Amino acid sequence: MDSKLKTQNSNFSRMLTLSAHAKVNLTLEVLGRRDDGYHEISSVLQTINLVDVLSFEPATEIKFECLDPGTGQTNHSPWGMGTNHRSPFTNHSLMASFEKMVLKAARLLSLESGVWSLESGVPRPSPTLDSRLSTRKGAVIRAESVAIPGGIGLGSSASIPAAVLRGLNQLWSLELSRENLSQLAARIGSDAPFFIYGGTALAEGRGEKITILPTLPATWLVLLKPAIDPVPSKTAVMYSLLDSSHFTTGAATRKLVSELRRGRPLQSSLLCNTFEGVAFDFFPQIDEYRRRFLAAGASSVHLVGAGPMLFTLVPDEVEGEALARRLNGEGMEALLVRTTAGILVGEASASRQGE
pLDDT, residue 312, reads: 98
198 and 253 fall within a common domain: no
Q: Is 163 exposed, middle or buried (0-12, 13-18, 19+ CB in 10 A)?
A: buried
* Final residue belonging to a domain, choices 166, 192, 213: 213
| Closest to 310 in 3D by CA, of 283, 341, 340 | 283
- Whichever domain contains 122, its CATH number is 3.30.230.10
Question: What's the Cα-to-Cα distance from 325 to each of 37, 322, 328, rounded to whole Å?
Answer: 43, 5, 5
Q: What is the pLDDT of residue 354?
A: 38
| CATH number, domain with residue 334 | 3.30.70.890
Is the Cβ–Cβ distance between 216 and 45 less than 8 Å? no
Helix axes 95-113, 178-186, angle to 10 degrees: 120
Question: Are 157 and 288 in a shared domain?
Answer: no
Residue type, 239: Y
Supply the mean pLDDT for the chain. 84
- The answer to whether residue 354 is domain-embedded is no
Q: Residue 6 falls within a domain, yes or no?
A: no
Domain tally for the chain? 2
- Residue ranges with strand state E in 60-206: 62-67, 74-75, 117-119, 122-124, 138-145, 200-205
- Whether 191 sits among the annotated catalytic residues: the reply is yes
Model confidence pLDDT, tens digit, residues 138-173: 899 999 988 898 889 999 999 999 999 999 999 999
Task: Specify whether 232 is located in the same domain as 189.
Answer: no
Peptide bond into 69 cis (omega under 30): no
**Would you say residue 343 lies in a domain?**
no
Whether 298 is in a domain gets the answer yes
Query: Could you list the residue range(s) of the whole structural domain that residue 115 is in?
Result: 14-213
Same domain? 124 vs 74: yes
Catalytic residue among 68, 191, 225, 234: 191
160 and 23 within one domain: yes
Cβ pair 286, 226 in contact under 8 A: yes
Residues 73 and 114 placed together within one structural domain of the fold: yes
Are residues 44 and 100 located together in one domain of the fold?
Answer: yes
- Please provide residue 256's backbone torsions phi and psi, each rounded to the nearest 5 degrees: -65, -45
260 with 196, same domain: the answer is: no
Q: Are residues 150 and 89 in the same domain?
A: yes
Q: Kindly give the confidence (pLDDT) of every residue in the chain, 355 residues in length, as a single tens digit, with 9 standing for 90 and above.
A: 333 333 334 434 578 999 999 999 999 999 999 999 899 999 999 999 999 999 999 998 898 988 654 434 433 322 223 333 333 333 434 567 888 899 999 999 999 988 764 443 444 443 433 333 334 688 999 999 888 988 899 999 999 999 999 999 999 999 999 999 999 999 999 999 999 999 999 999 999 999 999 999 999 999 999 999 888 899 999 999 999 999 999 999 999 999 999 999 999 999 999 999 999 999 999 999 999 999 999 999 999 999 999 999 999 999 999 999 999 999 999 999 999 999 876 565 555 443 3
User: What is the C-alpha to C-alpha distance for residues 10 and 125, in angstroms, rounded to an integer?
Assistant: 22
In a domain, 332, yes or no: yes
Name the nearest CA neighbour of 302 among 277, 338, 327, 336.
277
Is residue 191 located within the same domain as residue 249? no
Give the DSSP per-residue string, 51-74: EEEEEEEEESSEEEEEE-TTTSSE
3-state secondary structure of 118: strand
Domain presence at residue 148: yes
CA-to-CA distance for 335 and 49, rounded, in angstroms?
11
Cα–Cα dist 298/113, whole Å = 47
Structural domain contains residue 172: yes
pTM confidence score? 0.84
Catalytic residue list contains 23 = yes
The pLDDT, as a whole number, for residue 13 is 58
Of 193, 213, 233, which residue constitutes the final position of a domain? 213
Catalytic residue selected from 23, 137, 225, 234: 23
Residue 7 within a domain: no
Both 280 and 141 in one domain: the answer is no
Other C-beta atoms lying within 10 Å of the C-beta of residue 262: 8
State which of 194, 213, 232 marks the end of a domain.
Answer: 213
| Statement to judge: residues 188 and 241 lie in one domain | no
Residues 19, 348: Cα–Cα separation, whole Å: 8
Enumerate the β-bridge partners of residue 33.
39
